[in-house]
């Protein structure tokens, strides 16, 4: 029986299919499994950043610093991650783009070309996070300036279960209700928003372009944080452009990285311990009563210095004595000069002697050590005290524990470790606890303390030092003297505080005296003159004088007591 003839074109198609199949098999032999390939395109974590106005895609300094600050912490976690600089216009503003700048201001950032740029970023961020291509990937998002607006405007529309954290920097649409009023709650450390991470200005209320309300959607509570630099014109009540452009130099991305990493740790259930650099200052009591302990203490100081330097850290060495002893605090070597060889040499030069009463001048010595040294931001900072005695309070120059603790915290903080005898444990416990340190009284555990210090890492963001009121601001207009139809003199009392003068809606400048003569008034219209006190400690809404056109006659006698 004759077989069925197969058409030639069918044979040709079969050969093509076979070749394709062989090619696919050969590729699979060298390619990773599908699951691994999927992990590359859909990593465990994506970190997305929206750059500010005019920033160059993938080459913007703010994006790079944000990326590097987080990347260093993720390196050894075992999770797969990807950094993305959001590809949106980030249209530039400034003198060269005056039309865009004016449009941003008059459109509150949501209209015209600037608003289109922001909305484009919002759309791309929403598509990326809410899309179905990587449903199991988690996201950290951040944005600076215009990019912060992209982030904060997007939040209400993003799938909350995919967001680990959202961080904004210098957001022109910030919203902090606790900053409203002449004596706001923030200035009393009350009712602070939970997303207020670093905002030193307690008057920060809304941004230069308004506010997105609510700033933290209910579904994202605990997942949002905002950073507004000290006097940033775009998000604080101050007018500094420099503070808006110094988030890198002021280490605010490094600061945020600590918070972000802690959120990632919680989300993925990671071991939170990461490699850390160390700045360790060692302060030795060299009074005569230390004679029996000094060699053992020196051995441990050398061990700690060795491990610190070998791990890439820095050490410094000082010794101190009693308040009434003529022996001053001595710097043996500092963070910039201490090599292990020099440290060992200087350690050997410390001799015990002198003293006076039982308690020593530790508070003054530690305060001056902290002030003298140049500490690195982001390093784990330790001040290790080796002593057999308690401390005087107040110490030289009236220094108290509270001042030492305040300085420690302002430096990031500096953790105090005190190695002493059991009889002194209670005296030092408060100082150690307030600086997140420890007291060790068992000399057999000194090596354990060294291990403990070396295993610590700096995980906390900086302590915010807000402009907090001591009392409500005062400014009182005492009298007004109309010199002519277009000139007036105002006497007022501000206790010498620099004062901002505003005529109608025009800022005339600042003065420090208690009297001002204002010329150029228009007698045909009502004029409003406002005096606003300006100070790092005391600020307020000010006092006003309203001059109605009908009352502005020539000449007008002094009117003492026309205070408003």
Q: What is the pLDDT of residues 67-98, one digit of tens each?
A: 999 998 888 788 999 999 999 999 999 878 88
**pLDDT score, position 23:** 32
Per-residue pLDDT band for 551 (boundaries 50, 70, 90) equals low
Q: Dihedrals φ, ψ of 301, to 5°?
A: -60, -40
**pLDDT score, position 462:** 57
Q: What is the pLDDT of residues 452-473, one digit of tens each?
A: 777 665 545 555 554 444 344 4
**Residue of 166, 144, 167, 155 whose CA lies nearest to 64:** 144
Superfamily name and number for 42-268? Alpha/Beta hydrolase fold, catalytic domain (3.40.50.1820)
Q: What is the average pLDDT value for the chain, to the nearest integer?
A: 81
Predicted model pTM: 0.59
Q: Mean pLDDT, to the nearest integer, of 439-451? A: 73
Superfamily name and number for 278-455? von Willebrand factor, type A domain (3.40.50.410)
Confidence check: pLDDT of 16 > 50:
no
**pLDDT score, position 509:** 67
Q: What is the pLDDT of residues 234-284, one digit of tens each?
A: 999 988 899 999 999 998 998 899 889 989 988 998 765 555 688 999 999
Contacts of 335 (CB under 8 A, 6+ apart): 279, 281, 314, 315, 316, 373, 374, 375
Q: Mean pLDDT, to the nearest integer, of 382-386? A: 93
**pLDDT score, position 275:** 55
**Residue of 452, 447, 282, 251 whose CA lies nearest to 366:** 282
**pLDDT score, position 497:** 64
Confidence check: pLDDT of 448 > 80:
no
Q: What is the pLDDT of residues 400-430, one digit of tens each?
A: 998 899 888 878 789 999 988 888 888 899 9
Q: Rounded distance, CA 372 to CA 368, Å?
A: 6
Q: Rounded distance, CA 294 to CA 319, Å?
A: 12
| CATH code matching the domain that covers 476-560, chosen among 3.40.50.620, 2.60.40.10, 3.40.225.10, 2.40.50.100 | 2.60.40.10
Joined tokens for residue 543 = 């006092």
């509270």: which residue's tokens? Answer: 402
146-154 helix and 112-130 helix, angle to the nearest 10 degrees: 50
**Residue of 349, 357, 281, 358 whose CA lies nearest to 316:** 281
Q: Mean pLDDT, to the nearest integer, of 139-160? A: 98
The gap between the terminal CA atoms of the chain, to the nearest Å, is 119
Confidence check: pLDDT of 7 > 60:
no
Confidence check: pLDDT of 201 > 60:
yes
Contacts of 119 (CB under 8 A, 6+ apart): 110, 153
């Amino acid at each position: 029986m004759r077989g069925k003839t197969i058409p030639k074109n069918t044979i040709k198609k079969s050969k093509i299919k076979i070749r394709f199949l062989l090619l696919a098999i050969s590729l699979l032999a060298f390619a990773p499994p599908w699951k691994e390939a999927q992990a590359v395109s859909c990593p465990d974590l994506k970190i997305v950043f929206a750059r500010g106005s005019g920033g160059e895609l993938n080459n913007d300094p703010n994006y790079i610093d944000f990326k590097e600050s987080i990347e260093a912490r993720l390196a050894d976690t075992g999770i797969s991650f990807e950094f993305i600089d959001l590809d949106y216009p980030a249209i530039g503003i400034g003198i060269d783009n005056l039309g865009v700048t004016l449009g941003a201001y008059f459109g509150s950032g949501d209209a015209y070309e600037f608003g289109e740029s922001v909305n484009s970023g919002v759309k791309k961020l929403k598509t990326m996070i809410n899309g179905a291509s990587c449903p199991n990937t988690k996201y950290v998002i951040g944005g600076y300036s215009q990019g912060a607006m992209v982030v904060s405007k997007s939040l209400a529309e993003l799938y909350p279960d995919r967001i680990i954290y959202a961080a904004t920097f210098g957001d022109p649409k910030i919203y902090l209700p606790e900053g409203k009023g002449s004596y706001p709650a923030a200035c009393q450390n009350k009712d602070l928003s939970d997303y207020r991470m670093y905002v030193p200005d307690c008057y920060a209320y809304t941004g230069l372009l308004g506010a997105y309300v609510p700033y933290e959607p209910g579904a994202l509570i605990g997942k949002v944080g905002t950073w507004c630099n000290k006097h940033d014109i775009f998000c604080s009540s101050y007018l500094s452009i420099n503070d808006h452009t110094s988030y890198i130099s002021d280490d605010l991305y490094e600061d945020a990285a600590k918070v972000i990493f802690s959120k990632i740790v919680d989300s993925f259930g990671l071991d939170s311990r990461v490699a850390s650099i160390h700045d360790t200052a060692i302060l030795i009591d060299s009074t005569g009563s230390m004679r029996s302990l000094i060699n053992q203490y020196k051995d441990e100081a050398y061990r700690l210095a060795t491990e610190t330097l070998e791990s890439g850290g820095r050490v410094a060495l000082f010794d101190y004595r009693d308040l009434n002893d003529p022996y001053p605090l001595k710097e043996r070597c500092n963070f910039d000069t201490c090599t292990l060889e020099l440290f060992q040499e200087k350690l050997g030069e410390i001799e015990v002697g002198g003293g006076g009463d039982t308690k020593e001048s530790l508070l003054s010595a530690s305060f001056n050590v902290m002030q003298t040294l140049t500490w690195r931001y982001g390093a784990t900072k330790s001040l290790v005290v080796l002593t057999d005695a308690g401390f005087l309070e107040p110490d030289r120059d009236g220094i108290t524990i509270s001042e030492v603790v305040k300085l420690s915290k302002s430096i990031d903080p500096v953790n105090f470790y005190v190695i002493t005898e059991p009889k002194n444990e209670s005296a030092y416990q408060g100082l150690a606890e307030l600086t997140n340190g420890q007291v060790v009284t068992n000399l057999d555990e000194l090596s354990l303390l060294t291990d403990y210090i070396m295993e610590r890492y700096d995980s906390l963001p900086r302590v915010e030092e807000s402009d907090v009121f001591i009392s409500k601001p005062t400014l009182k207009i005492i009298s007004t003297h109309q010199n002519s139809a277009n000139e007036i003199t105002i006497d007022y009392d501000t206790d010498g505080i620099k004062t901002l003068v505003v005529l109608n809606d025009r800022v005339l400048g600042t003065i420090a005296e208690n009297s001002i003569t204002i010329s150029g008034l228009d007698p045909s219209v009502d004029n409003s003159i406002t005096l606003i006190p300006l100070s790092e400690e005391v600020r307020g809404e000010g006092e006003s004088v309203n001059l109605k056109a009908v009352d502005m006659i020539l000449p007008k006698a002094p009117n003492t007591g026309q205070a408003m």
